[in-house]
Chains A and B, each alone.
Chain A
């Protein structure tokens, strides 16, 4: 909307005045609209400046805050890095030592591979023959007569260990059951003993004849019997 200031001002001053001739000189009068506008602009500029300064101050404060945070995080990362390097060093040391230990262990105490042994053992089960419990006792008896092996990196597994070292002790106690007539069950157990001695995982070891230590009979329905057994296998 366009405001015609001249007519607007004339309307604002309804002086139909007679006997009030105005002798003022309009040429040297300040323009109040312009003065007002200038004053308004000055105030506006002032307010803008204040707002700008405040905005800058807030930004600056935020930047300060952020850089403080960055410093903190950097310090944290550095500290972490140090710790990490330490850990890495420890880990490397550990790996080195554990390799050494494994080597040593393998050198001095070659053993039956338990995983393979258990897998093979479980394959021996049949429809009537079931194992309930397998307990393996594996120990090493130290001896003062221990002497260095010929080649620690590649220990002679097939041969008997060096005479000075005590043979590691390996005992497997098998608890299970056979659901069959007693006589047949004994045959089954005999067969089991033979098969256990011939297990491929025990190749190279001198396996003693497995010993049945316990036998219990229990009658089941339909003339069936259940024979519980404990079989002990030892490696010499």
Chain B
């Protein structure tokens, strides 16, 4: 009886072919009851999730969903509003003129670069802000998919934004004062953030994603298609072949190194840690290789410490081995004070 009365909710992180799922009792300060990585292919995902928690179109399960679309964008800029125009029309024009973003077709959020609170123009005349978003279509697809299957989205977030919050929170907890370089290896691009204490200092994207690395591999190995190359990237022998890794990651590493160097020179602070979320175990060698190439330590998250501080409990019946790769999912659960 008490099992039936127990509330069920879930945090879901969709990223390409994987859906990372944490079944919890509630969405704030949750107790994690089950943790699993499901295939993101709709039918298999729903089937897998139904085995973990009950839900139907007449009885919704409440979820917080993180998505990482390749089309997502992060721009750091300044809110410099001195004209007499209203703030909304100012943003509309600024986004169109500077970043070529139309508000009609994009879901956009503006947060303070420091603290990450939703930006409100009241009293702010000169503030660092982060403009982030994704095409509306992407969000609506996910929302419709969730609703059609009996999952009520309490929030649909950009997982990268939550990840920034999570890493900042962890850095504060561990008293890491040096800037942290966050590199998200997406398929079409690489999203780069540099976090400095409570502030997002750099948000940038390099148009060289996993696909370009795969293309390089395709050239090297004379493979027929990019898909074959992607599969080759995930093979275990790839993880062992360090010289090949180094050559594949070279271009990316060089670019990242120049970003990091530029930042270090500009701010006079040296970046100590590198954090690479979203890489599955079969691609995690990329993170390791990057860490070697740009000579930064990979950030290893002490889950026990962080989850205790965040009031996130791990139920003892759930069996899983937590490592840093789960941190992106858990950063959706965290509560971050601005």
Contact = CB atoms under 8 A, between A and B. Distances in A.
Contact of B161 (A16, A19, A24, A32): A19
B30 interface: no
B58 A23 contact: no
A14 interface: yes
A28 B117 contact: no
B139 interface: yes
Given A14-B28, A28-B140, A29-B147, A22 B338 contact: no
Interface in B316-338: 332, 335-338
A111 to B, nearest CB: 100
Contacts of A35: 60
Nearest to B60: A32
Contacts, number: 79
Q: Which of A19, A20, A25 has the most CB of B within 10 A?
A: A19
Q: Is the interface of A mostly helix, strand, loop or mixed?
A: loop
B255 interface: no
Contacts of A16: 335, 337-338
B165 A21 contact: no
A169 B144 CA distance: 126
Contacts of A23: 107, 109, 133-134, 139, 156-158
A19 B168 contact: yes
A14 B116 CA distance: 17
A17 interface: yes
B133 A19 contact: no
B336 A24 contact: no
A152 interface: no
Nearest to A19: B165
Contacts of A119: none
A163 interface: no
Contacts of B112: 18
Nearest to B331: A19
A22 B155 contact: yes
B87 to A, nearest CB: 17
A221 interface: no
Interface in B107-122: 107, 109, 111-112, 115-118
B229 interface: no
A39 interface: yes
B210 interface: no
A125 to B, nearest CB: 103
Contacts of A19: 111, 116, 161-162, 164-166, 168, 336
Contacts of A3: none
Given A22-B157, A23-B157, A15 B28 contact: yes
B335 A15 contact: yes
Given A25-B139, A39-B58, A20 B152 contact: no
13 contacts: A17-B165, A19-B116, A19-B168, A20-B161, A20-B165, A20-B332, A21-B157, A23-B107, A23-B158, A24-B143, A24-B153, A25-B136, A30-B152
Given A18-B111, A21-B157, A24-B155, 7 more contacts: A13-B154, A17-B336, A18-B165, A18-B338, A19-B111, A23-B158, A28-B140
